[in-house]
Chains A and B, each alone.
Chain A
Amino acid sequence: MSETIFQKSQIGQHAYSLPKEDSAWMDEMPSKEELRSMLPLPEISELDLMRHFIGLSRRSIGIDNCLIPLGSCTMKYNPRINELCAQLAGFAKTHPLAEDTLVQGNLSLIYSFIQILSEITGMEGGTLVPNAGAQGEFVGVRMIDAYHKAKGDLKRKEFLIPDSAHGTNPATAALAGFSIRSIKTNPEGDLDLESLQSALSERVAGLMLTNPNTLGLFSKQILTIASLVHEAGGLLYYDGANLNPILEIARPGEMGFDVMHINLHKTFSTPHGGGGPGSGPVLCNAKLKPFLPVPRVEKKGSQFITVWNDTSSIGGIASFYGNFGIYLRAYLYAILHGKFGLRKIAEQSILNANYLKCKLKTLLKIPYPQPCMHEFVAQVEEGSIRAADIAKRILDYGFYAPTVYFPLIVKEGFLIEPAESESKRTLDQFIEALRQIMEEVKTSPETVKTAPHHMPVKRLDETRAAKEPILVEKNI
């Protein structure tokens, strides 16, 4: 392990500089009892600071370094033109409470991006405020709740969620005060209609669904599912984590979904940043529009205005306008592609996934053999080698590992998603790596079980980390 920055302090050194003080204000001081005693931070020069973090960066990897085939994460190339534009002073230096007349550019961008996203998804309107997918889910679920309540329908306290769903779905519905009913997946990997029908009742507020689902399969029954839920008085929530493969191919609005979120840090290429910031816009149909959160941007004549309060709205969800600096990157990504380019994204993500799936058939068990969309599940045959072992060995071959042990219904499974930006050559190298690893499983299983061997550290003890948590550097 490299030392932490807190162990690199040298007394009296520093990097900072500050504008000079003026004698006019030098006597201003807070009262003594308000002042803190020492601030235990390290003292470091700028060069040492730079070297520390460059050193850390060399012990990490991103999509610029290698394939990251994490399923349901859509790790695609992050175009640098987006970064360049986000740094334009007109965007980076505007204050979120500046008067509307002073930020017409920003407001017009918000307005037109909502229009573009509505068109892509077949919805009637939306909001860019939610800061990430899970917060978008929360907004959508709160809007569904508000819709039922506005109709005087107060009994709907249950949400239906497939057993293959992302963990954020049940966590979100619970946060919004709903109880959760899990719906089974059928042997073909689609939602089990009997399980759905038996769960539907006048207590059900809605169903949260990903389509294609987390097995990478598009639901053939989607129109039936939608009408069943609607007939029972419920609404349909679309988890847009898997939107990438249906861009300009199919639209959630036409599938019967009422409200949805999009993860811009997946489908629209904004950098994932090692865990954010993301952005999770919510789109909805006409009947849910009144409940959209504030602030909302509206167009009055040629002027754009922000509406901060609206009595029918569910209210606020973020400090200001959400992650503006993120969704402006996504906006540029959308207009660079146009509909023509967006369709190419979807098509190539499907082609890449099916190619990889087809090539891995001889190496891993493929539980759902039909053509997939942008991702697919693969399993390790039950034995002494676990999916986690193979994942660790994949790191040694210079790739990030796919998602493991998700969805929960697939035992010893991988969820693999090679986004559209990956080339055939990269996919072929990944296939070859897996071929060699599966060979090792037969010839030298210990090598796989004790992987990784070529990372900065050997396999880490996660149990110990949780049992005796060390969450901060104690040394001063």
Chain B
Amino acid sequence: MDFVSNKARQQIEMLADIGVGSFEELLSSIPKQLLKPAPKIDDGLSEAEGFAFMEKIADQNGYLSLDSYLGAGAYSHHIPAIVGAITSRSEFMTAYTPYQAEASQGLLQVLFEYQTAICRLTGMDAANASVYDGASACAEACLMAVRSASSASPKIALSSGLHPLYRRVVEQYLIGNAIEIDTFGPDVQELKDDYAGVLVQSPNFFGSLERLPKLNSGVKILCGNPLSYGLYTPPGDKGADIAVGDLQPLGLPLSFGGPYAGYMACKESFIRKLPGRIAGKTVDAEGKPGFVLTLQAREQHIRREKATSNICTNQALSTLASLVTILWYGPEGLKNLALTNYRRAHYLYKALLKLPGFRPFSKGDFFNEFTVELPCSAEEALEKFRNEGIEPGLPLSRFYPEMKRHLLVAVTELKDKNKLDLYIEIARKL
């Protein structure tokens, strides 16, 4: 099947209007040896066949038969039903980037409201309209720090608690400009060297809360789960200059890793160093308020190689999903959602630590995800849990081969007491 509206009748009329005898005449600029012959046999599918085909592929994912405690940057939360109803509106879903502001006021206002919501959540002054994901948000924030640096050979310091998959994207984005990267442990209180920027993730990859170290100079970047700021002191109140992270916990399905969206918010003095699209408020010719894409002199379509980033398409529709989710919960709901995540995770954690052979990994507190050392290898545990229909968490040996007995466990509002107690029962038999 196809979605081409014009059929033979219109095609003949159009060719006649153009004044060519055949369609092939329109291809005259393509060198002959490059031209492919037109396929003769229709090898496409009908809509029904296509749907059945996709259903079959989806059914090959056995993951759904397990009750999963996987997190590590992607969490299973309830998505309010209103989210899909709004994001599937044609006027949002099928719109282009709002280049013609007057015709795209609704979309621009969405971006403006998203920027406002994320600033209020993180305690920051300004935000862009998103980057791709949590990893690219970290990378772009480090690049902002480098652009703000006075040193000719700026360095970046990353916490060892940063998600290893984020870290390698940061490395990817910094390598082109030969930026040196140092690493510091979670217990470091102060960094003596001069850095253009320092990045801490809290809760970090292992689930633990982490603090920004004291710095001589340099930009402080805090990466965090935005849901945790329903409960915890936001980055803006903790001295961070830039707050980044992934919006996935707020209204975005797991969807095998994407589409999610990276949020980026900053203090006032960094506004003109932000990458990507930004919506702003202005007035029209009659003085009435309206919205436009603004500060475009930072962007690739104007500044080309001098732009603050190469980003063009971002994750606009994902930010709409997160905005609606934030508003659906509201101030009280976000706090209670974060709190119930905290409580359920702590219930499980404390129960596990009472079992023989289970040991803590970190001294500090955590939000809704924790690392625990098992009495056996994670591989062994995984098998026993799966036999009971549970995917108990992420074996950390996948990222740190020496951590053979460590499991990273995420608990959200979707885990009720029965589920958690079943988990504990199976753990008791390890």
Contact = CB atoms under 8 A, between A and B. Distances in A.
B82 A49 contact: yes
B224 to A, nearest CB: 12
Interface in B310-339: 310-318, 320, 324, 326-337, 339
Contacts of A187: none
A457 B284 contact: yes
Contacts of B403: none
B101 to A, nearest CB: 5
A271 to B, nearest CB: 5
B420 to A, nearest CB: 9
B292 A471 contact: no
B44 A459 contact: no
Contacts, number: 671
Given A4-B113, A248-B36, A132 B314 contact: yes
Interface stretch (B148-156, B186-194, B226-234, B355-363): B226-234
Contacts of B31: 220, 222-223
A33 B222 CA distance: 18
A326 B258 contact: yes
A34 B294 contact: no
A95 B258 CA distance: 10
B211 to A, nearest CB: 11
B376 to A, nearest CB: 18
6 contacts: A18-B333, A39-B121, A96-B74, A133-B313, A319-B136, A332-B50
B284 A461 contact: yes
A369 interface: no
A424 B178 CA distance: 53
Contact of A85 (B51, B80, B331): B51
A391 B100 contact: yes
Contact of B169 (A277, A278, A319, A426): A319
Nearest to B23: A347
Interface in A90-114: 90-98, 101-106, 108-109
Q: Which residue, of B31, B76, B136, has the highest number of chain A Cβ atoms within 10 A?
A: B31
Given A34-B232, A274-B97, A324 B257 contact: yes
B313 A134 contact: yes
A92 B25 CA distance: 45
Interface string B102-136: 11111101111101110111000111011011111
Nearest to A21: B340
A458 B13 CA distance: 39
Given A345-B4, A471-B126, A458 B284 contact: yes
B154 to A, nearest CB: 14
B158 interface: no
Interface in A321-374: 321-326, 328, 332, 335-341, 343-345, 347-348, 350-352, 354-355, 358-359, 370-371
Interface in B71-103: 72-74, 76, 80, 82, 84-86, 88-103
Query: Which of B302, B337, B347 is the most central at the interface, judged by chain A CB atoms within 10 Å of its CB?
Result: B347
B5 A422 contact: yes
B113 A60 contact: no
Nearest to B73: A319
A276 B60 contact: no
Given A177-B178, A351-B14, 12 more contacts: A18-B336, A43-B331, A53-B324, A64-B91, A317-B172, A319-B165, A320-B256, A335-B50, A336-B47, A336-B50, A457-B284, A458-B102
Contact of B61 (A53, A85, A103, A341): A103
Nearest to B60: A105
A446 interface: no
B277 interface: yes
Given A274-B317, A319-B73, A36 B231 contact: yes
A222 to B, nearest CB: 7
For chain B, give the interface size range: 35 or more
B299 to A, nearest CB: 7
Among B104, B136, B285, B312, chain A packs the most CB atoms within 10 A around the CB of: B312
B106 A56 contact: yes
B249 interface: no
A131 B342 contact: no
A172 B176 CA distance: 10
A149 B422 CA distance: 54
Contacts of B10: 423-424
Given A36-B233, A276-B318, A319-B258, A97 B394 contact: yes
A471 B279 contact: yes
Contacts of B172: 142, 293, 314-317
A465 B292 contact: yes
Contacts of A50: 82, 85-86
Given A50-B85, A103-B61, A274 B44 contact: no
B426 interface: no
Contacts of A145: 176
A465 B280 contact: yes
Interface residues of A, number: 193
Interface in B218-260: 229-234, 237, 246, 253-260
Contact of B327 (A42, A133, A462): A42
A322 B96 contact: no
Interface in B272-296: 277-286, 288-292, 294-296
A384 interface: no
Nearest to B334: A39
A463 to B, nearest CB: 9
A135 B66 contact: no
Contact of B316 (A54, A275, A355, A457): A275
Sorted nearest first, the 4 A-B pairs with minimum C-beta distance are: A90-B58, A320-B257, A273-B317, A96-B257
A304 B100 CA distance: 45
B43 interface: yes
Contacts of B277: 275
A201 interface: no
A466 B4 contact: no
Contacts of B116: 4, 6, 472-473
Contacts of B320: 273-274
Contact of B89 (A53, A220, A326): A53
Interface in A1-60: 1-2, 4-6, 14-16, 18-19, 21-22, 24-26, 28-31, 34-36, 38-44, 46, 49-50, 53-60
B74 to A, nearest CB: 5
Given A40-B120, A76-B3, A471-B112, A25 B346 contact: yes
A231 interface: no
B50 A81 contact: yes
B284 to A, nearest CB: 4
B284 A142 contact: no
A77 B90 CA distance: 11
B344 interface: yes
A251 B259 contact: no
Nearest to B172: A315
B331 A249 contact: no
A34 B365 contact: yes
A320 B42 CA distance: 36
A289 interface: no
B304 interface: yes
A332 B54 contact: yes
A107 B45 CA distance: 22
Contacts of A276: 130, 259, 313-318
B261 interface: yes
Contacts of B111: 274-275
Contact of B28 (A254, A371, A473): A371
Contact of B129 (A75, A135, A275, A352): A275
Contacts of A278: 313
Which residue, of A15, A59, A332, has the highest number of chain B Cβ atoms within 10 A? A59
B305 A464 contact: no
A55 B86 CA distance: 11
Interface centre among B63, B127, B289 (most CB of A within 10 A): B63
